Amino acid sequence: MDLFNLAGKRALITGSSQGIGFALAKGLAAAGAQVVLNGRDTGKLAAAAAQIAGAKTLAFDATDHMGVRAAVDGFEGAVGPIDILVNNAGMQHRSPLEDFPADAFERLLQTNIASVFHVGQAVARHMIARKAGKIINIASVQTALARPGIAPYTATKGAVGNLTKGMATDWAKHGLQCNAIAPGYFDTPLNAALVADPDFSAWLEKRTPAGRWGNVDELVGACIFLSSPASSFVNGHILYVDGGITASL
């Protein structure tokens, strides 16, 4: 299983104090990586880090280009290389498109797509110098499909998919592998309102071939694969982990 061994690697996961980001951090740590948790709330980060042996924290706002650059450069200089980056920070806002608030649209753009550019660029500059690195962007089933009430979110996740392809196109020649994981419907804080809605859950179970919500731990295997030597010739790929929802009508 050496192909999937992450011993000696260091992974930065944005938005990792809870939900999918925290689950991925725990999974990468179990595979041997030292994980670096990121978020804006230092208290939540400390509490999360206390649950993962050897975890470090790096607090910054992923939407602040200069702040990201300073944090990443400072960490690389003081602690050491970031070998794996998981761009997970994201948000949701639900509203009919005709009534969608402009300020919420701008927040979605900054949090869901601009952050991938800011953190990806800051980390990639160091990876390029080392001729090696793994970047994994968290896309969504909405990278390929739309639902009522979340059109701007769908737009941002579509952009994440295409930015992932662009990263691979520009950076594969430097030894980087840049890919995305596109989760389906998972029981996370971001989806709490949907999980609590029995009508939506009933619809989802009928719509998804697997017949259920996903468990966040079921994303870990995909993340380990894309972080490890096993994916050395995988680049620009969007890996859907969705119980088959994008495969069927």
| pLDDT single digits (tens) 111-144 | 999 999 999 999 999 999 999 999 999 999 999 9
Q: Catalogue all structural domains in the chain, each as residue range(s) with its CATH number.
A: 2-247 (3.40.50.720)
Question: Model's pTM, two decimal places?
Answer: 0.97
Least-confidence region, from 8-12, 57-61, 111-115, 190-194: 190-194
Any idea what the Cα angle at residue 63 is, between residues 57 and 67, rounded to 5°? 60
List CB contacts of 132: < 8 A, sequence separation 6 or more: 83, 175, 176
Catalytic residue positions, numbered: 153
The secondary structure element, H or E, covering residue 95 is: none
Do 136 and 176 contact (CB within 8 A), yes or no? no
* Residue type present at position 212: R
The Cα 61–Cα 39 span in angstroms is 7
List CB contacts of 197: < 8 A, sequence separation 6 or more: none
pLDDT band at residue 64 using 50, 70 and 90 as cut-offs: very high
Percentage of the residues of the chain whose pLDDT score is greater than 70: 100
Question: Which runs of consecutive H residues, i.e. helices, occur in 79-229?
Answer: 102-108, 115-130, 151-171, 192-195, 198-207, 220-227
pLDDT band at residue 74 using 50, 70 and 90 as cut-offs: very high
**φ, ψ (nearest 5 deg) of residue 34:** -85, 130
Structure tokens, 234:
């995988």
pLDDT of residue 189: 82
Mean pLDDT, residues 149-160: 98
Overall residue count recorded for the chain in this entry: 249
Q: What is the mean pLDDT of the chain?
A: 97
